[in-house]
């Protein structure tokens, strides 16, 4: 261990970095002072309300909410018919999926609520048994809503909605089905899907011959569902995956994350340019980031200062290959701004040893790189 009057000091740095007053070179420990990833919490999508209606021989049907929709929520409308027909998507709505001219026919579309909407119309070009279903959801990505869709048809005593796989992020999955039977799904959806609408057009003589329904699930990866009924008929089911806003990830890494200054005489300077050990800071998040840097005093203490003195050391950083140097202080200060996702910033460090020291024990000090959203 070096004594107070020794002329050589031994320095090492990692992010966190350590400084020793020692003759030998110990292995640097790893103690990251920032998490590898920080996520801003996003509100999960949620079902708000739904409404539906059907008519035996009328190509125009309205689905109605009990209360007006909330502004910026998403309204999903599903139209279905027992026969081959074409539905018209109203002005102000955007198609999700169209399975027109099949038996049965099912079309889905959406709009972002301006606030207060209660009535939504399904209109086709045939006098057929037509159903309208509308659902309101919060917490969806209104700028990029539809991720993946698929549909399947068949004949039998139930519907088998196809699997879709939008990826590992959270999504809202909707299964929208129509089957030409006089029955109800009765909550029989599997794979944890929650039934939202189950409607049979039982509104009088001859009007109880078709069934439509909607179920949903918030999940990730490949998802599908099926539901059973008591009799057989032609069916079609759409499976829709809608996007939630991508969680903001703020994350930073430093490579190689360790600097060995070696033996440094009291009052003299060493830097990473001389050592060919320039550090690279990388934005590991998914948004533009600002990088900040902070240092600290040691426990003995050595005081972080702007000039070397007794038990005072200097640490500086440069982001332009040593053209300009900035003192590291015990407060966060700007290192780089508006670094894009996967972008990098080179960082050089320069250290000046105390002119003399009363510390004859190991000294540890952290340098922290912090990332914030630009």
pLDDT digits (tens, 9 = 90+) for 136-176: 999 999 999 999 999 999 999 999 999 999 998 899 999 99
CB atoms within 10 A of CB 67: 10
pLDDT digits (tens, 9 = 90+) for 307-321: 999 999 999 999 999
Query: How high is the mean pLDDT of the chain?
Result: 84
Are 229 and 211 spatial neighbours (Cβ–Cβ below 8 Å)? yes
- Whole-angstrom Cα distance, residue 118 to residue 109? 16
Element (H, E) at 24: none
> What pLDDT is attached to residue 191?
98
Is residue 2 helix, strand or coil? coil
If you count them, how many residues does the chain have?
374
Q: Tell me the whole-structure pTM to 2 decimals.
A: 0.68
Candidates 38, 138, 43; CA nearest to 372 is 38
> What pLDDT is attached to residue 363?
64
Q: Tell me the mean pLDDT in the region 6-30.
A: 34
Q: Tell me the mean pLDDT in the region 174-185.
A: 92
* Side-chain half-sphere exposure of 62, counting CA atoms within 13 A: 7
Are 189 and 226 spatial neighbours (Cβ–Cβ below 8 Å)? yes
Q: Looking at the predicted structure, is the pLDDT value of residue 23 above 60?
A: no
Between these two residues, 33 and 277, which has the higher pLDDT value?
Answer: 277
Is residue 313 helix, strand or coil? strand
Q: Can you name the residues that pair with 81 across neighbouring β-strands?
A: 105, 130
Between these two residues, 361 and 246, which has the higher pLDDT value?
Answer: 246
């Amino acid at each position: 261990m070096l004594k107070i009057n020794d002329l050589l000091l031994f320095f090492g740095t990692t992010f966190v970095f350590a400084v020793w007053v020692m003759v030998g070179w110990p292995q640097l420990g790893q103690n990251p002072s920032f998490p590898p990833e920080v996520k801003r919490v996003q509100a999960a999508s949620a079902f708000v309300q739904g409404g539906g209606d059907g008519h035996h021989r009328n190509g125009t049907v309205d689905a109605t909410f009990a209360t007006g929709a909330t502004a910026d929520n998403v309204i999903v409308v599903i139209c279905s018919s027992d026969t081959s027909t074409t539905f018209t998507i109203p002005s102000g709505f955007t198609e999700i999926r169209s399975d027109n001219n099949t038996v049965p026919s099912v079309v889905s579309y959406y709009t972002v609520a301006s606030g207060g909407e209660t009535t939504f119309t399904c209109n086709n070009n045939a006098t057929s048994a037509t159903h309208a279903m509308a659902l309101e959801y919060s917490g969806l990505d209104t700028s990029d809503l539809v991720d993946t869709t698929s549909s399947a048809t068949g004949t039998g005593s139930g519907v088998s909605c196809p699997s879709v796989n939008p990826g590992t992020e959270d999504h809202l999955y909707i299964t929208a089905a129509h089957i030409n039977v006089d029955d109800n799904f009765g909550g029989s959806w599997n794979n944890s899907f929650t039934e939202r609408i189950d409607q049979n057009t039982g509104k009088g003589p001859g009007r109880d011959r078709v069934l439509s329904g909607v179920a949903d699930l918030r999940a990730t990866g490949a998802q599908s569902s099926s539901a059973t009924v008591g009799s057989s008929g032609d069916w079609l089911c759409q499976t829709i995956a809608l996007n939630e806003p991508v969680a903001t990830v703020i994350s930073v890494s430093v490579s190689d994350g360790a600097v060995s200054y070696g033996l440094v005489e009291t009052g003299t300077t060493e830097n990473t340019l001389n050592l060919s050990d320039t550090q690279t800071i990388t934005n590991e998040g998914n948004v533009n980031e600002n990088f900040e840097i902070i240092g600290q005093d040691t426990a003995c203490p050595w005081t972080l200062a702007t000039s070397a003195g007794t038990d005072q050391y200097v640490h500086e950083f440069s982001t332009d290959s040593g053209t300009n140097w900035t003192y590291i202080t015990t407060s966060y200060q700007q290192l780089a701004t508006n670094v894009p996702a996967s972008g990098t910033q080179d960082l050089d460090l320069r250290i000046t040893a105390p002119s003399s020291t009363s510390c004859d024990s190991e000294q540890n000090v952290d340098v922290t790189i912090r990332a914030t959203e630009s």
